[in-house]
Amino acid sequence: MTRARRKNLAVLSRQLEIRVEFLEECVRHGALDLDELPASPRAASAAQGARLRRLARLCRDLELDVFAGALIVDLLEQRDALRRELDVRRAAGR
């Protein structure tokens, strides 16, 4: 990992209050793609921050590795999207 990327992770770590080591593990397992982050990690979207916080919380509370936690977060996000779509369809049908 380049020095600039390590610096970006350190900034993101402080911003999200997540340990740098956890973020590095996320990068290694593909749960965090540094290329998807904006040039300045301070400009990371609220959705990206919420996803990483949720992943960190799941891994910590359930003692999961990052790979398993990322799978669970992906499934939860898909479920939430389907629920929103269903709500929209129900509202449109009324």
pLDDT in tens, 61-83: 999 999 999 999 999 999 999 99
Answer left, alpha or beta for residue 37, where phi above 0 means left and psi between -120 and 50 means alpha: beta
For 48, counting Cβ atoms within 10 Å of its Cβ (0-12 exposed, 13-18 middle, 19+ buried), the class is middle
List the chain domain ranges. Answer: 3-93
Q: Is 64 helix (H, G, I), strand (E, B) or coil?
A: coil
Percent of the chain whose pLDDT exceeds 70: 89
DSSP 3-state of 47? helix
Give the Å distances, CA to CA, from 50 to 2, 4, 70, 73, 86: 25, 23, 13, 11, 23
Please name the CATH architecture into which domain 3-93 falls.
Orthogonal Bundle (1.10)
Task: Supply the pTM of this predicted model.
Answer: 0.80
